[in-house]
Amino acid sequence: MSQPDFLYELFEDFMDDPANQDFSMDNGLVCRWMTGQAKISPKISAYYSKPSNQEKLAHTIHQNLLPLMSDCNMAIEDIYTLFIQDDSISDAKKKNLTPLYKPASSRLLFLAKLISFGMERQFIKRNTKNQKLLAGGALSPIVLDYIMDSEVPRPCRHFIGRDKELEELYTMLEENRHVFLCGIAGIGKSELAKAYAKHYKKHYTNILYVEYTGDLHQDITDMDFIDDPPEISEQERFQRHNRFLRSLKSDTLLIIDNFNVSATQDSFLSVVLKYRCQILFTTRSKLDEYCTLPLKEIEDMNALFQLTSVFYTSDCQLCNVPDRTAGT
């Protein structure tokens, strides 16, 4: 449905109130509300600031919107997650609204009160550079503050000689979304992945890092989300994390380092490859059925000698000079 039609369905009680019979949903203004370029009408926010009208809103959502949704429970859970993770919302407000989310019977009232709260908040205009992406749902939420131990380690400070590979990797990720960076041990796969994250940091909303331990399912389960309840089971924890990762868009990069197994040795790979975010794997395995970037020796001899001079003194024996790798 169109944006005005959607708001008519959502705010049906407001529109049916005789006091608002002259109010109309101007298409241009509604578009600006949706893209965060204008604050929603004070008449609407004032109407739903009353608790009795918030109860009406909860009923309207149940009647008009839930039947249109393929997975309303997941939608409400995602909204709850955004609410909890928003550090601009006070702990007092979170403490006030969170109890309504716990019992299923009051979740729609929680949603109605949250919508009302959102309309009453201080308005901050959206960044116009991201307007089209935000309106189209193409941007991920900023998540690094809410997932512990997920930041990419810094590359070696002597990293050098891989400018061509960095550019090639960027192009491949843009075109294919999932790339396996492969090569022999010590060739510099992990360092290149770390350097890529540092070099292209401004191109992404989020960059997440996972050290592969031999089981992708378990690695996703073990990710440390701040809002994971302490009493949550392993299965519930995995479901929450997997659902969240599935929601991320192509403006997020997930690095899975040292994925040194074949596709058949970790059956969960096929699930991860369905994520919409960009994923960069580093691997020693031969995975020709996927998009791969084989990493070879450094071609620039000057860069190679510069790298060698950092770790070896001038009186070092020739036999001790390392291979042309970009490891450490």
Is the confidence at residue 258, as pLDDT, over 80?
yes
Q: Where are the domains of the chain?
A: 3-127, 147-311
pLDDT per residue over 92-145, tens digit each? Answer: 899 999 999 988 889 999 999 999 999 998 777 765 455 445 445 556 766 766
Give the start-end residues of each E strand in the chain. 147-148, 178-182, 206-211, 224-225, 252-257, 278-283, 292-294
Is the confidence at residue 240, as pLDDT, over 60?
yes
Spell out the residues 6+ positions from residue 291 whose beta carbon is closer than 8 angstroms to its own.
172, 176, 178, 179, 180
pLDDT value of position 144: 65
Is the confidence at residue 17, as pLDDT, over 60?
yes
What number of other Cβ atoms are within 10 A of residue 14's Cβ? Answer: 23
CA distance linking residue 199 with residue 216, whole number of Å = 26
Determine the CATH number of domain 147-311.
3.40.50.300
pLDDT per residue over 204-238, tens digit each? Answer: 888 999 999 999 999 999 998 877 887 889 999 99
Q: Which residue has the tokens 């909303």?
A: 205
CA distance linking residue 20 with residue 7, whole number of Å = 14
Query: What percent of the chain lies above the pLDDT cut of 70?
Result: 88
pLDDT per residue over 160-201, tens digit each? Answer: 778 889 999 999 999 999 999 999 998 889 999 999 999 998
Q: Work out the mean pLDDT of the chain and round it to a whole number.
A: 85
Helix axes 51-60, 107-120, angle to 10 degrees: 120
